[in-house]
Structure 1
Amino acid sequence: MLLKIACAQPEITAGRPDLNTEKILQIIKEAAHNGADILFLPECAVPGYLIGDLWEQTSFIEDCEAYGQDIINATADYDICVVFGNIALDRSKVNEDGRVRKYNAAFAAYRGKALGNGRLPYNFVIKHSLPNYREFDDSRYFYSLAQLAAELNTTPEALTAPVMLNIKGQSVKLGMMLCEDGWTENYHFNVPQTLARGGADILCNISCSPFTLNKNAKRHRLFGAQAKTAGLPLVYCNNTGIQNNGKNIFTYDGCSCVYNANGILAAEAAAYDETILYFNFDTETKNINAETMPPASADETSAIYKAVRYGTEKFLQQLGIGKMVVGLSGGIDSAVTAALYVDILGPQNVLLVNMPGRYNSGLTKDMAQKTAQALKANYMVVPITDSVENTYNQLTQTPVVNYNGGGQFNLSVSPYVMENIQARDRGARILAGVAAAFGGAFSCNSNKTEITIGYATFYGDICGAVAPIGDLWKHDVYALGRYLNSKVFTHPVIPEEIFTMRPSAELSPEQTVGNGGDPLVYPYHDRLFALFIESWRKTSPADILRWYSEGTLAGHLNCPQQLIDETFKDAAGFIADLERWWKLFCGLAVAKRIQAPPVISISRRAYGYDHREAQLNPYFSREYYKLKNELLNK
């Protein structure tokens, strides 16, 4: 029997089951009109996935349940089976938190009825593997298949079986699972292979899986291997759009696809395209026949830009922001951010503001103006020298009355405090005011390298509506700048000098472009800081010092040994550098990250609720002090 299968990747709006259901009903109508026999829709297609503790609101989840029933009822009007994700309730039971029992569930609806698998006491399939790492909090809200099995005094395997669908006069067994159920590397219970042993004709993974750089390649390897082991085709259905957890904005790239029984990718929908992928499935031979070939894989910088642009654009739309203000310093971070917003909103809706102070060079002021001219954006220059001087005078000349001990005194302002005053004048006063007057919001230009060590000022350059490049290391920002020039605008909107001059904050006489003021060696420190946060097993200073002592650090950093040798003359210099940045990373930088704007998250670990941290004192292990002592006393 030949079945036509449709795999839809709609843009899901988290927390709006009404809008999502309306869209789903249109997709059902379209797929049925195009002759599809089975339609797959993503996990949590009705409620959305990242909705925080809205999962605890009774009226919301009851609405989701009712909208799900609308979808089931709609299948009575068409000869099509619809598989979709939604929350499922059992009001006779409670979760371990005492609230009503909730399952992350997959429904198979046909001719107005929901089909069960014959093993579960429900007419839906329950997610077994509830992730509770990175941004995922499934176990906070949902009851798992494993928990239900224990409650019923049975095993997950006994409750896992394909869903039988009688269509076109014949039977087909759908091996339905939800997202994490397919990521079997570290779970003792293998859902896809259990479904295969249970007689499934095709494996179906409906997901709500956020984009992470290089994640699709890993999924292809893992899911392709599952299909090959099972000897069955495997369908992967994912949504598009954005969802957030308050601090992290995740993009959903879709990339829905199908693998043949030999594990080879047969067809894949384009990334971030709200479309329907169609293919034919032969139930006898288990072959997949698709008219479209999988798209060519994008290079890393292209994938980064597509994700950052898509996420930023959708987030602005969600907030109703149509205009953006960017502080344009003449450096690479602000230039890339400005070009991004111009590409998204058009130059007429972007206002670039250069705010020179006493220490800003003619070079950076010239670069800012040239960038604005090349982008054809709105541009203004607002000097801060007088206002900073006024703040200094007010702070130092206004007497402080001591009502406790009597008398009065005056504040003194150190050069370091003067640096912060300049940053706050630019952010909290000028950019915030300009954004309000312009009728928009203003952007945070901080990159991941700066955010890691807190190289930003409270209420200054770390404030704004969103940090679009906040999950990009400095070398990623430079690569993105090149990409903007060559691929997006196809001419140099970012001047070449910005790529070649040495960065500087230009907040003091010591911080001058090209000569000094920036202690970071980005080719080295980008990679060092990535070990701090992106390493799955949380690299410690002891690990780093051990690798340095063994001469293997370059391999862990994926950099040439020459770079380490040129950066540090001896072990003492290396240790001093490591301790400096680790103390900042674990210290005040944490407080700054907590107050930072939400980040477009694309890496294996982004700051926010993806990387959860408490405000603690920096810690060095016993092994670290032992290694340090050995190295310094050689």
Structure 2
Amino acid sequence: MKIALSQMHVIPGNRSANLKTILSTIDKAKRDEVDLLIFPELCVSGYMLSDWWLSPAFLQEVHDYNEVIKEASDNIAVIFGSIYQDSDINTRLHTKAYHPNKDGRTRLYNAACFVQNKQWLKRESVEPYLPEGIQPKTLLPNYRFFDDERYFFSLGDVAMDMGVSIESLSQPFCINIKGKIYKIGLQVCEDLWCKDYRKDNRALNTSRYLIENGADFIVNISASPWTNHKNDARDRRIRFLAHDSDHFVPFYYVNSVGPQNNGKNIITFDGGTTAYNSEGNPVLLSEKNFENDYLLVEHESLPTQTLTRKEPSSISQKYQSIISGLRYVKDMLGMEEHPKYVVGVSGGIDSAVVVCLLAQALGKDHVWSVNMPSQYNSSATQNAAQHVADKLGIKHMQIPIQELADAQLNLFAKLDEELPSSDYARKLSDENIQAKIRGTSILSNLAGRYGRFFTNNGNKLETALGYATLYGDVGGVIAPIGDLTKAEVFNIARYMNAEIFQEEVIPETLLPNEIFEFGENDIAPSAELREAQLDPMKFGYHCALLDAFTHFNKASCEDVMQWYLTGTLAENLNISNALVDRWGLSDPALFVEDLEWFARNVQRSVYKRIQSPPIIVTSPSAYGFDIRESQLPWQTSARFNDLKQQVLALEKYAPKSAQ
């Protein structure tokens, strides 16, 4: 049997474009004399569609397209991911009993659909609990930005409703290829990530059930987002499936590519399509990250030699993910061509990285840069902005804003004579006037007037701490580096200079040493809204602290203080003791003051993050819909207060190791 694995770029919501891709791939597979063609999960509609799953008209259109694919399956078998509304369940079961979705609507499956010769394929078991040709997803993820439980009915739900075992419903499909019958077990995405789902004190492993029920091989169709070292994670999960079964069978994994979004996050899908042998080892794999691919394999002569993956560096994968996300905006907004951008470039590292990413993703003709100096902007930053633009070959403009700032300052000076305000509030307002002029008066108007978009250039650390101005630099259509800490921004700048440009496009003067120190002639990060202003963050340390706070297993202030007491702060944050010393954190009083400042600012800045543009996800936990936040005051616990007193009683931080 010849099998084709179609690693497909799925455009969420664009049913007609996806159908066109599917049909053209079916035609290609027929020309290649393929017997079985496999597409990814929800390849007809896309996955991240939020409440479009509640639209009857939308669901009906997807159902109609399912039938089109079935009619195209003459002389070929096709497995594809789509939704299926089980509207004929009562007819099939010969009952008038009530069988709804959990929300009272018609039962909806996120399913693997199996067709051949214009027919829905049948299982060996003929129980009518499930429609022909339809295998519902068993495990519905309901973490991070996944919300499957909100919309879909699982195989386990069917088992509970019908009073049967999930094992009995995990039946392979029978397929006739050139007179030979194959039994194929189908899974959908999360079903292979089953180790943490439990049943009868074991993993709820449908691979095991399918094999016990006679499956000759297993197909898993996925829409599994990219995360760092995702291929290694996939391989480990397949090995677990193999070890969790008395014996194993060949396993075909087909994943989608192309970003999707949930309104607040842009999530990228990297592919990783792989064929595994009966020992659970990868023997054929796609080497195209974030791109379409089409792999052919002869099932009977599946390679036996285990392949070693070439895993790119973490920062290069994050670079690829951002590039993929930027190229997605046209699909997200239903545009035929990539949109064009105007980017506010301050001469600092963040805007330099953003403008370089855009130029690489879309081409230099799609990017303008604009520098908007006030009296506080140095010639060094203005020259740095010009240098980047010249190296990229993009149009660069300089629009001074001091006259606009002075006009507003004069207006408010008159109002200050009669309206009460504090000195601090007036000072902060005077500074933020510049940011609002840049973002609202200049950038948004340039974008609107000349048919362009503008970007949010904030990094994750600034987003966390609220170090940004609403209606100023909190704006734009997308936040390309909103999930990169400042340390990662520096790293991606170094990566682009060395690997992408192979020359100094981003000035070295913007990059610190290994403990985030800047030389006398370097340009340290600054908003440049007042004289001699420097960003208040402790780079490197605060980046690591934010990673710990937003990790999937989130650390707390109490954890951080406990690490300090045990001398394992650097070890747990994966930083050096030299960095702890560089920021003066060996002083317990300064450490506690800084920790409270950090935690308080993270919590009180929720209101800004709620109003921020979509962020491209590059970490295990991104602001937006991945991290779901409520606006609440920052409060300390009794344990926090107790640990604080213990820390303050120390004379000095004593590291346990030479981390």
The alignment's TM-score, normalised by the length of structure 1, stands at 0.93
Q: Is the 8 A contact 2:258 2:291 kept in 1?
A: no
How far, CA to CA, are the matches of 2:649 and 2:493 in structure 1?
A: 45
Task: Tell me the percent identity.
Answer: 38
Match of 2:433 among 413, 421, 424: 421
Q: Is the 8 A contact 1:267 1:294 kept in 2?
A: no
* Match in the other structure for 1:138: 148
Following superposition of structure 1 onto structure 2, how do residues 54-453 of structure 1 map, counting pairs within 5 Å?
54-76=52-74, 78=75, 80-91=76-87, 92=90, 93-117=99-123, 118=125, 119=127, 120-123=129-132, 124-188=134-198, 189-227=204-242, 229=245, 230-269=247-286, 270-282=288-300, 288-289=302-303, 296-319=310-333, 320=335, 321-398=338-415, 409=419, 414-453=426-465
* Match in the other structure for 1:506: 528
Q: Bigger CA drift: 103-112 or 494-503?
A: 494-503
Distance 1:354 1:121, change over 3 A: closer
Q: Is the 8 A contact 1:396 1:410 kept in 2?
A: no
Q: Deviations over 1:75-133 (max 9, x none)?
A: 12x2x211111111122532121111101111111111112332443211111100100
Matched AA of 1:494: I
Q: Bigger CA drift: 346-355 or 525-534?
A: 346-355
Matched AA of 1:467: A
How far, CA to CA, are the matches of 1:276 and 1:200 in structure 2?
A: 24
Q: Bigger CA drift: 390-399 or 468-477?
A: 390-399
How far, CA to CA, are the matches of 1:63 and 1:447 in structure 2?
A: 40
Aligned to 1:88, the other structure's residue is in SS state: strand
**CA shift at 1:332, angstroms?**
0.7
**CA shift at 1:43, angstroms?**
0.8
How far, CA to CA, are the matches of 2:416 and 2:144 in structure 1?
A: 50
Distance 1:43 1:409, change over 3 A: closer
Would you say 1:31 and 2:48 are equivalent positions?
A: no
Matched AA of 2:81: G
Aligned to 2:215, the other structure's residue is in SS state: coil
**CA shift at 1:550, angstroms?**
1.3
Would you say 1:564 and 2:580 are equivalent positions?
A: yes
Distance 1:290 1:420, change over 3 A: farther
Matched AA of 1:233: P
How far, CA to CA, are the matches of 1:291 and 1:69 in structure 2?
A: 39
Q: Deviations over 1:54-93 (max 9, x none)?
A: 10111111111111111112112x2x21111111112253
Matched AA of 1:122: P
Q: Deviations over 1:474-514 (max 9, x none)?
A: 12111211222222222221122122432111111240xxx
How far, CA to CA, are the matches of 1:619 and 1:170 in structure 2?
A: 67
How far, CA to CA, are the matches of 2:390 and 2:595 in structure 1?
A: 41
The alignment's TM-score, normalised by the length of structure 2, stands at 0.90
Aligned to 2:72, the other structure's residue is in SS state: helix
Structure 1: any 5+ residue segments left out of the alignment? 401-407, 512-516
Q: Is the 8 A contact 1:549 1:631 kept in 2?
A: yes
Aligned to 1:252, the other structure's residue is in SS state: coil
* Match in the other structure for 1:514: none
Matched AA of 2:587: D
Q: Deviations over 1:203-223 (max 9, x none)?
A: 111001111122222111111
* Match in the other structure for 2:47: 49
* Match in the other structure for 2:571: 555
How far, CA to CA, are the matches of 1:508 and 1:226 in structure 2?
A: 59
**CA shift at 1:292, angstroms?**
12
How far, CA to CA, are the matches of 1:560 and 1:346 in structure 2?
A: 39
Q: Is the 8 A contact 1:227 1:233 kept in 2?
A: no
Structure 2: any 5+ residue segments left out of the alignment? 91-98, 199-203, 513-521, 651-659
Q: Is the 8 A contact 1:227 1:259 kept in 2?
A: no
How far, CA to CA, are the matches of 2:306 and 2:296 in structure 1?
A: 9
Distance 1:346 1:566, change over 3 A: closer
How far, CA to CA, are the matches of 2:308 and 2:178 in structure 1?
A: 29
Q: Bigger CA drift: 615-624 or 563-572?
A: 563-572
**CA shift at 1:633, angstroms?**
3.5
How far, CA to CA, are the matches of 2:308 and 2:117 in structure 1?
A: 32
Match of 2:640 among 609, 624, 629: 624
Aligned to 1:98, the other structure's residue is in SS state: coil
Q: Is the 8 A contact 2:251 2:277 kept in 1?
A: yes
**CA shift at 1:295, angstroms?**
6.1
**CA shift at 1:245, angstroms?**
0.2
Q: Deviations over 1:535-559 (max 9, x none)?
A: x232111111111111122221111
**CA shift at 1:288, angstroms?**
1.5
How far, CA to CA, are the matches of 1:264 and 1:153 in structure 2?
A: 36
Distance 1:152 1:102, change over 3 A: same
How far, CA to CA, are the matches of 2:309 and 2:542 in structure 1?
A: 35
Distance 1:7 1:291, change over 3 A: farther
